[in-house]
Amino acid sequence: MIRKILVGIDFSEHSKTTLKYATQLANKLSADITLIHSYTLPLVNFETGYIPPIEDIQKEAEAEMNVLLNSFSGFKYNTVIKMGFATEVILEYAEEHGFDLIILGIVGQGFVKKHLIGSTAYQVCKESRIPVLIIPKNAEYKSIQKIAFACDFHHDLHKTELYLKVKNIVQYIGSSLEIISVVESEKSVDVKFAEEYLYFEKKMENVPHEHFFVTHDKATEGILEFIKARKSDWLIISPLKHSIFEKLFKESVTKEIVFHSPIPVLSIHE
């Protein structure tokens, strides 16, 4: 059940896109939304030695929050403004107050954002035990008819509850499920792969779904090409540690997908 949604806001233009998407989703699910914004102290101006008072920074954030809320009249939002680093503030607040879903926006695929500064959305999805929905730039809400799930059957799925989490989300949203498995070649399909596949199929037998095997030497490209071709509405990923994808292709598939997916990405930990 998704009853409490936490939406990270930084007052950028994409924040408005993210909030619009979150609001429409919350309306469909009859869920409550809390907006959370964090701020840090600015760098010291060594020439003047001046640091703006925390109270001034807080008031400025509150003013920006009010401007944002005024442009989204008709829906009741709870708001939180806290000092601290965004990732830490979001994760701590979400855990402490029992949220069911975190929604964050992500912008750009540039070198600086991706490799040097990093992304709050990516960091949160990597660390959060609560499902995280990442909204890409220019995403518009529409009925969620088809959810794709990128699944790695080289992992010990029978030791996790991942199947149950995916199953619950798909049934709750009321969509169909398309499971995609990317393999480098036919040789990648070994006994362990087959056992985990059969286990997962058994657990998902009462959920409408199809399974697709895609042969591709790059997992990320295989997944992204699939969701574009199938016109998926959401993509579910699970940031599994020490994934066979990372071993084979020496890349963080999770990070690449988060930054490049044209559709919302739902991150669910095992």
- Residue 201 pLDDT > 90: no
Phi, psi angle pair for 175, to nearest 5° = -115, 170
Partners of residue 81 on adjacent β-strands: 37
- Ranked by mean pLDDT, the top range of 117-121, 190-194, 245-249 is 190-194
Strand partners, 7: 35, 103
Mean pLDDT (the chain) is 85
- What are the structure tokens assigned to 113, written together? 């954002």
Residue 89 pLDDT > 90: yes
Structural domains in the chain, CATH included, are 4-108 (3.40.50.620), 146-267 (3.40.50.620)
For residue 213, the cross-strand partners are 181
Q: What are phi and psi of 125, to 5 degrees?
A: -65, -30
**SS3 of the chain:** CCCEEEEECCCCHHHHHHHHHHHHHHHHHCCEEEEEEEECCCCCECCCCECCCHHHHHHHHHHHHHHHHHCCCCCCEEEEEEECCHHHHHHHHHHHCCCCEEEEECCCCCHHHHHHHCCHHHHHHHHCCCCEEEECCCCCCCCCCEEEEECCCCCCHHHCCHHHHHHHHHHHHCCEEEEEEEECCHHHCCHHHHHHHHHHHHHCCCCCEEEEEEECCCHHHHHHHHHHHHCCCEEEECCCCCCHHHHHHCCCHHHHHHHHCCCCEEECCC
Lowest-pLDDT choice from 38-42, 67-71, 97-101: 38-42
Lowest-pLDDT range of 46-55, 126-135, 255-264: 46-55
* Cβ density class 173-194: b for 16+ within 10 Å, e for less: bebbbbbbbbbbeeebbeeebe
4 φψ region: left (φ > 0), alpha (ψ -120 to 50), beta (else) = beta
Is residue 15 predicted with pLDDT exceeding 60? yes
pLDDT bucket at 246, cuts 50 / 70 / 90:
very low
pLDDT in tens, 160-174: 788 889 999 999 999
pLDDT of 23 > 80? The answer is: yes
| Residue 117 CB neighbours (<10 A) | 10
Query: Higher model confidence: residue 116 or residue 213?
Result: 213
Is the pLDDT at 250 greater than 50? The verdict is no
Are the C-beta atoms of residues 2 and 130 closer than 8 Å to each other? no
Of the ranges 33-42, 117-126, 255-264, which one carries the lowest mean pLDDT score? 117-126
Per-residue pLDDT tens digits for 34-67:
999 998 876 655 565 556 677 888 899 999 999 9
d(CA 247, CA 264): 26
pLDDT at residue 245, as a whole number: 44
Mean pLDDT of 240-256: 56
